[in-house]
Amino acid sequence: MTLANHFELLGQSDAARLGRLTTPHGVVRTPAFMPVGTLGAMKGLHWREVRDAGADIVLGNTYHLMLRPGAERIAALGGLQKFTTWNGPMLTDSGGFQVMSLAQLRKVSEKAVNFRSHIDGAAIELSPERAIEVQLLLGSNIAMQLDECVRLPAERDDIDRAMRLSLRWAERCKRAFETAPDGHMLFGIVQGGDVPELRQQSARGLIEIGFHGYAIGGLAVGEPQEVMLAMIDETAPVLPQDRPRYLMGVGTPEDILEAVARGIDMFDCVMPTRNGRHGVAFTRFGSVNLRNARHADDPRPLDAESSWPSTRNCSRAYLHHLVKSGETLGAMLLSEINIAYYQSLMSGIRAAISNGTFESFRQQTRAHWAQGDIAAL
């Protein structure tokens, strides 16, 4: 059976794609960056700020939410959108990636991944079927298949084994998703590490099963940027033109721009909020470390021409003071400044694709980054 398609490809500029993904909770303009609200909250931001910054969709982490407050509880409370008050489109990962990175005594079998909670040590089994059940309980608009993600560098045999297991799990996830209510989407995840032919085998296997969209997983896990981009180059051409493509866990503004240039539609990353908490701002002229003493007496804002009020109005001296003093407001301001920068980048990308000028936008954006921050006073 053919899956309903909620994605429209609206235009293209070279390989960069402009699209629209429709969910019962609203429309997602692509290319889209999804801020990460791990535990049902963005760290340091109110939902209204995420919305104001221009985000159409956010990501929730299934692993964290199933442990606390629990998927059944969120379902009883009306689902994740209502629970969090975000009330917009939401994608959930499958939990697999966090199981690999956070859980204790992890054991992967054909049937499932078994682990102990990092909070209270409780024994938990996450099977492909349970990963889908949990995501449907959460009520996310886009669910992800359970997969096994291998850290790079890795042996080819390990990459191959994990890719094939992920394909078998993809099939079980698809079956488990058959009872999902209308309007919910399920994405498959291409694995295959840094081995081009395994990436292509994975993509073809997923397409045969059939998904609402296709993610590229297992990248941004320690490999150099060239490897990541090369893997996108190997994979994207294999993927169906009419379905959304999501590059998981990516990345820096530069990673995103380069991946859009290779035909990717969706992204997520904790970097804007995490770096914000550590005193680093993303701007049109690259990243700025506000801990640096050069900012202590600098009355200038991060970017006088930004459309985001805090970026335009807060002095570097004030941000420096807040960061150095450990005031929550420092992390709050830099997190919203960074989310706003990421969203303004996406908005610029979408406008450029729409105008057929993506390549010149890309060159200009890279030139600004290369130019670097304004000189110290």
Q: Which residues bind its own copies (CB under 8 A)?
A: 39-46, 68-69, 73, 76-78, 83-85, 296-297, 299, 313-315, 317-318, 320-322, 324-325, 327-333
Nearer to its own copies, 52 or 233 (CB): 52
Q: Could you tell me the smallest distance in angstroms from the CB atom of residue 269 to its own copies?
A: 18
Q: Does the annotation mark 373 as catalytic?
A: no
Nearer to its own copies, 254 or 327 (CB): 327
The verdict on whether residue 96 carries a ligand-binding annotation is yes
Q: Note the Cα 184 to chain centre separation in Å.
A: 18
Cα(31)–Cα(8) distance, rounded to whole angstroms?
Answer: 12
Q: Are 279 and 290 in contact (CB under 8 A)?
A: yes
Catalytic residue among 255, 265, 268, 298: 268
The verdict on whether residue 37 carries a ligand-binding annotation is no
Nearer to its own copies, 284 or 320 (CB): 320
Catalytic residue among 56, 93, 194, 298: 93
Convert 245-280 to b/e letters by CB count within 10 Å (16 or more is b). Answer: bbbbbbbbbebbbbbbbbbbbbbbbbbbbbbbbebb
Q: Is 295 helix (H, G, I), strand (E, B) or coil?
A: helix
Cα(49)–Cα(54) distance, rounded to whole angstroms?
Answer: 9
61 backbone dihedrals φ, ψ, rounded to 5°: -100, 115
The verdict on whether residue 205 carries a ligand-binding annotation is no
Query: What are the structure tokens assigned to 359, written together?
Result: 């390549």
The verdict on whether residue 222 carries a ligand-binding annotation is no
Q: Could you tell me the smallest distance in angstroms from the CB atom of residue 64 to its own copies?
A: 8
Cα(103)–Cα(271) distance, rounded to whole angstroms?
Answer: 22
The verdict on whether residue 267 carries a ligand-binding annotation is no
Q: Does the annotation mark 268 as catalytic?
A: yes
Q: Could you tell me the smallest distance in angstroms from the CB atom of residue 325 to its own copies?
A: 5
Nearer to its own copies, 103 or 236 (CB): 103
Q: Are 129 and 172 in contact (CB under 8 A)?
A: yes
Largest CA distance in the chain: 64
Radius of gyration for the chain, computed over Cα atoms and rounded to the nearest angstrom: 20
β-bridge mates for residue 59, sequence order: 36, 91
Q: Could you tell me the smallest distance in angstroms from the CB atom of residue 44 to its own copies?
A: 5
Cα(61)–Cα(36) distance, rounded to whole angstroms?
Answer: 8
Query: What are the structure tokens assigned to 351, written together?
Result: 């406008």
4 backbone dihedrals φ, ψ, rounded to 5°: -55, 145
Cα(3)–Cα(243) distance, rounded to whole angstroms?
Answer: 11
Q: Could you tell me the smallest distance in angstroms from the CB atom of residue 317 to its own copies?
A: 5
Q: Is 33 helix (H, G, I), strand (E, B) or coil?
A: strand
Nearer to its own copies, 68 or 291 (CB): 68
The verdict on whether residue 83 carries a ligand-binding annotation is no
The verdict on whether residue 218 carries a ligand-binding annotation is yes
Nearer to its own copies, 328 or 360 (CB): 328
Distance from the first to the final alpha carbon of the chain: 64
Q: Could you tell me the smallest distance in angstroms from the CB atom of residue 69 to its own copies?
A: 4
Query: What are the structure tokens assigned to 368, written together?
Result: 């600004």
- Residues involved in catalysis: 93, 268
Give the annotated binding-site residues for substrate. 93-97, 147, 191, 218
Give the annotated binding-site residues. 93-97, 147, 191, 218
